[in-house]
Structure 1
């Protein structure tokens, strides 16, 4: 009996330690009224057992935290699936499966940073290796001001020659409360970015109360200490909205396809979000709006033609050049002599 109680206490202690690392605190569930408790299950939290006290059961679940602990995206369905939004004091992973999605991933993170910077003038530090900045480029300063409302002096960059240096800068910066957020952008699936490295970043973010965004470009999904992983790609933009209706042939607000790869609630979901640069807010695109947008013809019908092109006639095979009796089967497969220079002549550069 004593061995069973010690085993339960060990399991509860391990669950609490894992929940602390992942940023999900265990909940306490009170037993129904009138039910006689058989044993105390909250001994991992502390306190001596009481014979007539209500039993408390620990289970892994949602963290009981105030609404200010989460960064709400403003999209009702996405925030509900994430149990309130992205955690502010935690490591969050924003993942792009392909290199061509680097712009979409960066734009989505900058949108989140725009929501964080509302009402505070603190700067944001963007850390990356020379390889990732050479491949994806740097954000355009004037575009930051016009699209996201981020002043150029609020975005600081740190270019590291190696991933080891970038991780060191991110860990040291995550301890600073003078920064509004830290962005660490990497490429691929390096071995140095393991559970130990991400746990350190997550712990520093929790202690400082600041978000750390891990941007992964063209890498496979691997285990990390981040409680939330969002997979982001570019979505087709709709036409620009005017008073008279959509403007044909124009490009509207930037759009993102966001899929939940990992969350505290373990609820899957895929959403199409549009960023409104005037309001600095996300707007969810409904599925029927997407179908209506895709139903528009991409190439307009050519003018001056009333009937479609006629169908092709019967395809016939012509005999080889010359008499079939005089030419051997091997010779029939060869082109005629006047045609030979066209096949073996040198290709013109001009």
Structure 2
């Protein structure tokens, strides 16, 4: 019996460790000693009044532990939003999606900085190959689109991937940073499950997010609880008072697909970034943000005025066609036959 109790305690310890790594902490329920509540799993520990149940479902997490994007369908599919103290993967399936992936990450950083006072800097880590291929973010664009001051974004250019991983692990434990961004190209062998577990553990201990940007990377087993696949979406026309302005370019848009999440719910969303409010907005069907007419109905009438019909070409003022409705069916005076013209006397 002693060996069975030790083995059972070892199993529970391993389950608690796995739940901590996955972010699903065990729930503690109050129950009388030696009894288990109805519906409890058969392996529940009932030796004490603090009943510990390790389950595979989602643990109860406070709402402030998630970063809400502002797009309600995406936040609901993620179970409340992106976890703040965790490793989050943002993938671009192709190299040309590097700009969209970087823009989406900067939008998330903007959401984080809005909630901080005072605002802390953000460290962007990458290899020389990454910055040579994709370039650096434009300083004026940071302030205009995301409200990020150029001094709030720090860059660390590492010569090798192993150096970039070391810098990311050391920076992830620092509470003086608002977030850490690690950008990696492809699917290198060094970025294995062990390396991502270390990054995720550092992020959990520091209470800060770590964003792993993958250029042309494939989905592999990692310790990140959330994986998003991001690509550029067609921007809608610029909205004006009179309606969409044809031939113009509106707000930045992203196509976001959920590759991995706590809820295991798939989904694909088209988000638009609002540079004025610094928040994501879900694009509705047809690209129209607000189907309500811009101009309200007149208050003097019960019903609004009917819509105008087709535009017709009318005759010029003073012409024979404008004088008489039937005149347009008659030929002009110079075109009339001579024998029906008025006679002249003498």
Compute the TM-score of the two structures, normalised by the length of structure 1. Answer: 0.75
Aligned residue for 1:321? none
The 8 Å contact of residues 231 and 260 in structure 1, kept in 2 or not, is answered as yes
The 8 Å contact of residues 183 and 214 in structure 1, kept in 2 or not, is answered as yes
Alpha-carbon deviation of 1:209?
A: 0.7
The 8 Å contact of residues 26 and 61 in structure 1, kept in 2 or not, is answered as no
For residues 1-350 of structure 1, the aligned pairs below 5 Å read: 8-28=8-28, 35=38, 41-42=44-45, 49-50=47-48, 57-118=53-114, 119-120=116-117, 121-289=119-287
The 8 Å contact of residues 70 and 84 in structure 1, kept in 2 or not, is answered as yes
The 8 Å contact of residues 40 and 56 in structure 1, kept in 2 or not, is answered as no
d(CA) in 2 for partners of 1:289, 1:131: 37
> More deviation in 10-19 or 103-112?
10-19
d(CA) in 2 for partners of 1:210, 1:55: 31
Alpha-carbon deviation of 1:12?
A: 3.2
d(CA) in 2 for partners of 1:141, 1:55: 54
d(CA) in 2 for partners of 1:38, 1:243: 60
Question: What are the ranges of 5 or more consecutive residues in structure 1 without an aligned counterpart?
Answer: 44-48, 291-350
d(CA) in 2 for partners of 1:219, 1:22: 22
d(CA) in 2 for partners of 1:81, 1:29: 27
User: In 2 relative to 1, CA 205–37 (structure 1 residues): closer, same or farther, beyond 3 Å?
Assistant: closer
Alpha-carbon deviation of 1:13?
A: 2.7
Q: 1:211-244: CA deviations, max 9, x gaps?
A: 1000011011111111111110111110000010
The 8 Å contact of residues 88 and 227 in structure 2, kept in 1 or not, is answered as yes
Secondary structure, aligned partner of 1:191:
coil
Secondary structure, aligned partner of 2:54:
strand
User: In 2 relative to 1, CA 2–190 (structure 1 residues): closer, same or farther, beyond 3 Å?
Assistant: same
Question: What are the ranges of 5 or more consecutive residues in structure 2 without an aligned counterpart?
Answer: 289-346
Alpha-carbon deviation of 1:14?
A: 2.4
d(CA) in 2 for partners of 1:36, 1:145: 54
d(CA) in 2 for partners of 1:140, 1:19: 41
The 8 Å contact of residues 236 and 287 in structure 2, kept in 1 or not, is answered as no
User: In 2 relative to 1, CA 288–10 (structure 1 residues): closer, same or farther, beyond 3 Å?
Assistant: farther
Alpha-carbon deviation of 1:165?
A: 0.5
Secondary structure, aligned partner of 1:230:
strand
d(CA) in 1 for partners of 2:25, 2:41: 24
The 8 Å contact of residues 122 and 180 in structure 1, kept in 2 or not, is answered as yes
Alpha-carbon deviation of 1:8?
A: 4.8
Alpha-carbon deviation of 1:28?
A: 4.8
d(CA) in 2 for partners of 1:285, 1:260: 17
d(CA) in 2 for partners of 1:192, 1:30: 45
d(CA) in 1 for partners of 2:108, 2:56: 28
Compute the TM-score of the two structures, normalised by the length of structure 2. Answer: 0.76
Q: Number of aligned residue pairs: give it.
A: 283
